[in-house]
Amino acid sequence: MRLAIDVMGGDQGPRAIVAGSARAVVENPGLELILFGPRQQILAELSRLPQPLAAAASRLVVCDAPDSIMPSATAAWALRKGRSSSMAHMLRSVARGEADAGVSAGNTAALVALARRELGMIKGISRPAISTAIPARAGRRCYLLDLGANVDSPASRLVDFALMGAAMAQCVDSTAVPRVALLNVGSEATKGSASVREADRLLREYANDDAFTYEGYAEGGDLFKGQLDVVVCDGFVGNAVLKASEGLTSMLVERVQMAFESRLSGRLASLLAKPVLKRLKRELDPVRYNGASLLGLRGIVVKSHGSTHADGFYYAIQRALKEVEHNLPARIAGRWQASSCENDGAY
């Protein structure tokens, strides 16, 4: 298996990306990674790798791509000027079949725009969606999408999100019949915006589809209850919910820590509270630690969090490997064709 890696664009610079990549090849004996970025910088980082990781360097192939896309660049700029960037090179190697999937920690808007151009969309899907799995009660998780690739989503796009999310849960988590819900301001049929109510009507038409069950409306709190596998919403809403959850988790963990430190001696607090809180923080920060998937493309692209460290990038690679193993784009394409036959002309 071979993956393409965009080494540029992470807030921590190429070091974390190279270290995460090295860990991935060490732990996956059949894996080769092509690292796109400025050759000298990558070689310098490779030479700094400690021994257990350095051993795997022969399966890290450097591919010189000196240009990169700034975190502040717009999608329009990336489309016009980003053709020679490490991100575009990485995507083209996926498009040409030289790599089975691509991973980047760079600018999300640029990644969505370039991935759409370089890889193309699955027939019938107009724009990529971004999704990640939110940790929920009882060790379960819930895919939330879209997370910001689309704002002002019409009803038909919300339905696409539902189909893609269901394919994702089936594929990656082996959920036989995912439970899908639509995010709304209340569970009553009369509530919500026109596009959400229309999407609800369309999704009810799939009720006899055996690929997923449609559970109706969900509210924000239902994300964490462990009773839903996929929750669908416009990208503006999903982005706000995801980022608020990240901010809240980090504040909460800090407060719990402070509260314990004020009640226990420093040593006891470190011993008891810190390991528990550290693990919790990691579990509850899904994008930073597992990355997010771009769905609807004719290829696999995983977005690692911009501020990720080596471990986070490693997990993003693992996520991409899982999607390759289950051939997620084919699964989504199959789902979309099935549904557009069943509901010919419905949307």
Where does this chain bind its own copies (CB under 8 A)?
A: 72, 74, 76, 109, 136-137, 148, 151-152, 183-186, 188, 190-194, 196, 219-225, 233, 235-237, 239-252, 254-256, 259-260, 263-264, 272-273, 276-277, 279-280, 284
The strand pairing partners of 303, in sequence order, are 104, 292
Q: 55 or 272: whose CB is closer to its own copies?
A: 272
Quick one: 100 or 285, whose CB is closer to its own copies? 285
Of the two residues 162 and 196, which places its CB atom closer to its own copies in the complex?
Answer: 196
Beta carbon nearer to its own copies, 2 or 116: 116
Going by C-alpha positions, the residue among 217, 221, 242, 212 that lies closest to residue 232 is: 217
CB closer to its own copies, 124 vs 220 = 220
- Using left for φ > 0, alpha for ψ between -120 and 50, and beta otherwise, residue 13 falls in left
Q: Which residues contact 273 (CB under 8 A, 6 or more apart)?
A: 256, 257, 260, 261, 264
141: nearest Cα among 97, 163, 174, 190: 174
Both structure tokens of 43: 């070689």
Type of residue numbered 202: L
Smallest gap from residue 253 Cβ to its own copies (A): 8
In whole angstroms, how close is the CB of 214 to its own copies at the nearest point? Answer: 19
Instruction: Report which DSSP code applies to 193.
Output: -
Letter for the amino acid at 190?
Answer: T
**Nearest distance in Å: CB 264, its own copies:** 7
- DSSP secondary structure letter of residue 205: T
Q: How far is the CB of 133 from its own copies (least distance, A)?
A: 14
User: Do residues 304 and 312 make contact, with C-beta atoms less than 8 angstroms apart?
Assistant: yes
Minimal distance, residue 198 CB to its own copies, in Å: 13
